[in-house]
Amino acid sequence: MTFLPIVETLQGDITGYIQTNIISITDGQIYINASLFREGFKPAIDMGLSVSRIGSRVQYPGIKDVSKGLRLEYAQYREMLRLTKLRTRLSKEAMEKMWRGEILQELLTQPHNQPISAEEEMVLFYAFKRKALEQLAPAELKKFKESFFSYLIQEQPNLVKAISEKKELTSEIAAELDKVFIDFFKMVAEEMKKANRPANAL
C-alpha cells in the first residue's frame, strides 16, 4: 500500500501521539520547517528531522559514498548558524566550519525547475568530500557549481561516460577528477583576474 499522510504539528513538535504513530508505520518522513520557509529556503525541508528508511538501498553506490555524513554535517551547520547569531566574534576553526556549511548549503540549493543528474550530483559532492572547494571565494564557488559539470563534459566526455556506466567513483575516476578540478580552478582564477583587471591595463 502506498499513501502519503500529511500531519500538522503544534510549534514543530513531532512527539505527539498522532505524529509518532505515523512516523512508526511509514518508511520515512519529510519534515517541513516553518523557520526555514521564513528564511527563504524552499522547499523548507529540515534534513535533521527528515528520514528515509529505504533511500540508501536504492541509491547508486557513488551517491551513497559521497553522501555519507552530509546529513549530520548539515544539521551541525544549521545548529552553529543558530548559535552564532548570539555571538559577534568566532574562532578561526568555527569560521572554517561555517564556511564549509555554507558551501554544502550552496550545493544543496537548486534553481527552480533545474534538476541535476545523478552523475553531476556525484561529482559535486565528491569535490565537497575531497575538501576541494574550501579555498574558493563565493564567486568562484558559484562558478564551480554552475559550470564545472559542463566543463567536464566538454573536456573529458569519456570520464563522464565512465561515471554514468559504473554508477560509482572508482579510484581511477577519482584521480582523473582531481586533475580536472585543478585545471578548472586555474581557468577560473585566470578569468577572475582578467575581470578585475583595470580597463587600461596591458
Active site residue ranges: 53
**Letter for the amino acid at 9?**
T
The residues, any chain, with a CB within 8 Å of residue 166's CB and separated by 6 or more, are 62, 173
Residue 146: how many CB atoms within 10 A of its CB? 10
Cell numbers describing residue 112: 527552480
Rounded Cα gap, residues 15 and 10, in angstroms: 10
Strands of the chain (E only): list them: 28-29, 51-52
Rounded Cα gap, residues 78 and 46, in angstroms: 10
